[in-house]
Chain A
Amino acid sequence: MDIKDVPCPFCGCLCDDVKIQIEDNRITGVENCCTLGNAKFLSKSRLQHPIMRKDGKWVEVSYEEAIDETARILSDAVRPLLYGWSGTVGEAQVVGVHLAEEIGALIDSTTSVCHNPSILAIQEVGHPGCTLGQVKNRADLVIYWGCNPIEAHPRHMSRYTTYADGYFIDNTATDRKVIVVDIRRSDGAKVADEFIQVKPGGDYLVLSALRAMVRGKSDVVPDSVAGVKKVQLQRVADLMMKAKFGAVFFGLGVTMSRGKYKNVRNAIELVSELNRKTKFTISAMRGHFNVYGFNEVLTWMAGYPFAVDFSRGIAFYNPGETSVIDLLEKKEPDACLVVASDPGAHFPKSTIEHIAAIPTVQIDPCVNATTALCQVQIPVAITGIESAGTAYRMDGVPIRMKKVLETDFPTDQEILERIVTRIREMRADG
């Protein structure tokens, strides 16, 4: 059996044109997908039963016991942390937010370690953006800044930018210019019309220089800025101003390097400035397929996109204080629930040391690095393959993920609802 137009549950591109072949409730073929998505659709390894650490050993337990233990851990905690969320759908995230509200928890997502700085910047200066189809149809200049679509979002260029057919673009090969800005000559840089190599940590300075040039104030800019010659900067500023529709995409090279959100802010302000001359948009290359969805859900429910502390009964937000890395680094949480992400593989060592030191429960289909750090792991259906729900593409377009395989595994949402129910029962019992 073939199923068409399946959205891919890997990256923020959320390509929704994937074709899946299924035989005997197994995926036997995948078409239109990239290497990363293929690997996910065809993956076969998974955890088969809930497991719990007892006397220094892993033992298989029932779902009921695992959920009981989770409820007990979370009820007892004075500063519980609910982390992850980007690899599941909105319907499960909603239950997570209600859980956090109910037990006075901290809740944060993988946003904290990817585009957190983009959000802080947007909160200072806003965000001139658009949907990806707008770029595909109109952009005659595409700028990838501190991101490498070929490795992180392999179909971004073919679906939405460089190689995509566009309504107003007669010939994508000649009518669309591509600029890449990076500290290293990435694969993306090799196919660009212009490559700007910036010294590590120098993005902010280069962006300031471009803003001054767009304002016609080139005279103040020194001959070289963070490794980039002034003549190249002027050439790029002119290209930007001459474009009919320019689209900037930026990634972790901007958000993670020194200055963090100030880099993003400067990029946004460059784009805002360019809108006085022509049309320009800027967009974050969001990583997980539904990392943006969690930001949306938490925002409409609590008012903030990530890093919310419910411990005082209202929503308090202050990244740097209520965000996951800072909390773990300061050893604040006394219990942790990890859902649909793998901090063990992606957090600095000192912070996961704390995850290992406190009672931690993980809800995830697969054994991963975090498995080693938990007390309990509850396996679930694979979201977007074995369970359906809503995900938000990197540009905010909501897409319904499909269930293409039958499974006996419960969904994230079901497990979370059972945990909430169990906590309420425990409280009612005193």
Chain B
Amino acid sequence: MAEILLKNAYVIDPISGINGEVMDIAISGGKIVEEVSSKPEVIDCQGCLTLPGGIDSHTHISGTKVNFGRYMSPEDMRAGRTAKKGPMHITSGYSVPTTYGNSYRYSALGYTTLVEGAVAPLEARHTHEEFKFTPLQDSCANILFDGNWGMLRALEEGDIKRAAAIIAWTLNAVKGFAIKLTNPGGTEAWGFGKNVSCINEKIPTFDLTPAEIIKGAIRANELLHLPHSVHLHCNNLGTPGNFTCTIGTFGHVPDLNDKRQTLYATHVQFHSYGGTGWSDFCSKSEPVANMVNFRPQIVIDMGQVMFGRTTTMTADGPMEFNLYRLHHDKWSNHDVELETGSGIIPVNYRKKNLVNSIMWAIGLELALLVKNPWQCLLTTDNPNGAPFIKYPEIIALLMSKRYRDAEFAMIHQDTEKRVPLPAIDRELDWHDIAVMTRAGQARALGITDLGKGYLMPGAEADIAIYPIKTDEIDPSAEYEKIIQGFARTEYTIKRGRVVSRRGDAIIDGENTTFWVKPKVPAAYDIQHDPTFMELFERNYSVRMSNYPVQEEYLHRNHCIETETDL
């Protein structure tokens, strides 16, 4: 593999404690090294901002639900079509682009690692198929356990170790990365068209509450020593007054891991709502952010909403149905037997709409009110809050009070009475942004050991070089330059190769899929457990032997083996 020497890079690398040093970076064999041989390819960065490759810790880019979002939306497809160009294949789509569209556009933004936020294990094979055609980013799949009958039965019996064993078997079988809970208990209730209201209500079918599922999954996760924590989409997404549910959930989270958080709560914007209905709907970002500030064991991501058309998609089937009843537009639903649900509807977030305006403010507030940027990561829950191509605008909003005020003047005028945003003066700096878009993600996902998220020797050579000279821009005033600068890298380097140059992909690429394999003692190998086998035999519509994702689907991959406490 070719060697590259980056000269005069202005580096911000929070994990390594580097905050704005001009330095050279040597790359060989796909990794950052101390030095290269005599004739590397030299790239003169000319003092441009150089960061570790971007990592999206919660996005929807591959799999059954995402593809159905494309399938049902020809109007979205025609909104973003590009022709074949060099090694770039054609792309279609705006809010749910084709796999190549996702890959090229993320690469142009400097992103090199993506976590698909919600994968039903029964359909994981599909996600892996699409990963192959998302060639410019490494990928991981969060696996849904919110309605997993095997796990729920074990938790009901109070057998955490058995629950952990079932999780371990499933993650290994479907080549998944982490435990995802989406509206725990709610997706099971949705099997008969119901939902759960909050964390202390009993769910149908199993003698459990959502709180018990969350706590059980957290303990199982730590027994398995998984790299990432439990990744939670709280109950009650999108409903006025849900902040109490969110805070209540956070209150249940123990601090069990000294390397990372114990709970990752995703798209918290959608879970920080006050009011008793839509008429008195308001922001409760302050109490939620305060809770996070007091509990270092929690990391959240924003789930920022940006104005315009997009497509919402989540495993939270009942929530999507409620959204459908509000919008009366197209609605898709896809329940997955014994596991989870999902729903999709298109939405248009409008500045003239008060609720949408408040949602927009809440996401920003969370990022500005959570004191420690390592605890609040930048996402839109792509494409739920907005397509990821809006990230540069979000960065600019966080760095510029003036930009926020200019935008605030455009939105629904009553917003001011419902949100604290206008009173928040904080402006994030370059280092904060580097944390919130890569370093924080790497640490939260537990993949720094794999060389992700930093730029010191030993790290994967995943690097983004932006046409930004930090000493020449006043972010507070020149927010347009922030947007332009982050919208298109000069170079995106993936595993030691320049994959994208000024917005165009220049090679085909070959991604790596990261997956976990907890080392489970024989007594906890559930594969041959008669009760577990019977569950499959009687209730699934596929044979147990056809369920695991075969090696053929992995292509290039990295298996993370973990020692367990079983």
Contact = CB atoms under 8 A, between A and B. Distances in A.
Contact, chains A and B (beta carbon distance below 8 A): yes
B15 to A, nearest CB: 34
A312 B81 CA distance: 11
Contact of A126 (B64, B133, B344, B540): B344
A300 B336 contact: no
Interface in B326-375: 330-338, 344-345
A278 B190 CA distance: 10
Contacts of B511: none
- For this complex, into which size category does the number of interface residues on chain B fall? 35 or more
B60 to A, nearest CB: 13
B552 interface: yes
A185 interface: no
A304 B92 contact: yes
B539 A300 contact: no
Given A101-B84, A396-B334, A132 B541 contact: yes
Nearest to B96: A303
A275 B321 contact: yes
Given A130-B336, A300-B99, A138 B191 contact: yes
Nearest to B190: A279
11 contacts: A101-B90, A122-B71, A122-B72, A126-B330, A128-B332, A129-B334, A131-B122, A136-B337, A302-B90, A303-B101, A392-B126
A94 B132 CA distance: 11
B89 A301 contact: yes
Interface string B429-467: 000000000000000000000000000000000000000
A94 B130 CA distance: 11
B265 to A, nearest CB: 28
B73 interface: yes
Contacts of B487: none
A411 to B, nearest CB: 13
A279 B192 contact: yes
Among A125, A134, A138, the most chain B Cβ lie within 10 Å of the Cβ of: A134
A61 interface: no
A245 B538 CA distance: 19
Contacts of A132: 337, 541
Interface string A107-122: 0000000000001001
Interface string A377-388: 000000000001
Contact of A133 (B192, B331, B540, B546): B540
Contact of B332 (A122, A390, A397): A122
Contact of A398 (B125, B133, B324, B337): B125
Given A301-B99, A303-B91, A397-B122, 7 more contacts: A17-B543, A133-B540, A299-B70, A301-B133, A396-B126, A399-B542, A400-B552
A16 B542 contact: yes
B550 interface: yes
B518 interface: no
A4 B545 contact: yes
Interface residues of A, number: 62
A300 B334 contact: no
A313 B125 contact: no
B541 A136 contact: yes
A128 B542 CA distance: 21
A314 B83 contact: yes
Contacts of A299: 67, 70-71, 98
A320 to B, nearest CB: 13
A37 to B, nearest CB: 15
Nearest to A274: B193
A399 B546 contact: yes
B93 interface: yes
A133 B332 contact: no
Contacts of B543: 5, 16-17
Contact of A7 (B71, B125, B130, B546): B546
A275 B546 contact: no
A169 to B, nearest CB: 11
A305 interface: yes
Interface of A: 4-5, 7, 16-17, 90, 94, 98, 101-102, 119, 122-134, 136-138, 159-160, 165, 167, 244-245, 272, 275-276, 278-279, 281, 295-296, 299-305, 310, 312-315, 317, 388, 390, 392, 396-400
A134 B97 CA distance: 29
A123 B334 contact: no
Nearest to A277: B193
Nearest to B337: A133
Main secondary structure of the interface of A (DSSP, over half): mixed
B82 interface: yes
A137 B77 contact: no
A137 B129 CA distance: 28
Given A5-B545, A159-B541, A275-B193, A296 B77 contact: no
B332 A313 contact: no
A127 B332 contact: yes
A128 B318 CA distance: 12
Given A133-B541, A299-B67, A126 B192 contact: no
A258 to B, nearest CB: 23
Contacts of A390: 125, 129
A303 B98 contact: yes
Contacts of B541: 131-133, 136, 159-160, 397
A310 B337 contact: no
Contact of B93 (A126, A165, A303): A303
Nearest to A313: B83
B72 A314 contact: no
Contacts of A131: 122, 334-337, 541
A276 B193 CA distance: 9
Contacts of A315: 77, 81, 90, 92
Contact of A123 (B72, B81, B123): B72
A400 B125 contact: yes
A396 to B, nearest CB: 6
Interface string B184-215: 00000011110000000000000000000000
B74 A304 contact: yes
B491 interface: no
Given A119-B71, A303-B92, A304-B74, A245 B539 contact: no
Which of A130, A159, A276, A312 has the most chain B CB atoms inside 10 A of its CB?
A130
Contacts of B77: 303-304, 315, 317
A137 B67 contact: no
A249 to B, nearest CB: 14
Interface string B530-547: 000000001111110110
B325 interface: yes
Contact of B98 (A123, A137, A301): A301
A281 B333 contact: yes
Nearest to A295: B71
Contacts of B64: 396
Interface in B45-75: 62, 64, 67-68, 70-74
Interface in B68-121: 68, 70-74, 77-78, 81-84, 89-93, 97-101
B331 A126 contact: yes
A274 to B, nearest CB: 9
Q: Which of A119, A122, A127, A388 has the most CB of B within 10 A?
A: A127
A397 B123 contact: yes
A363 B392 CA distance: 48
A126 to B, nearest CB: 4
A95 B552 CA distance: 17
Contacts of A301: 89, 98-100, 133
Contacts of A303: 70, 74, 77, 81, 91-93, 97-98, 101
A180 to B, nearest CB: 22
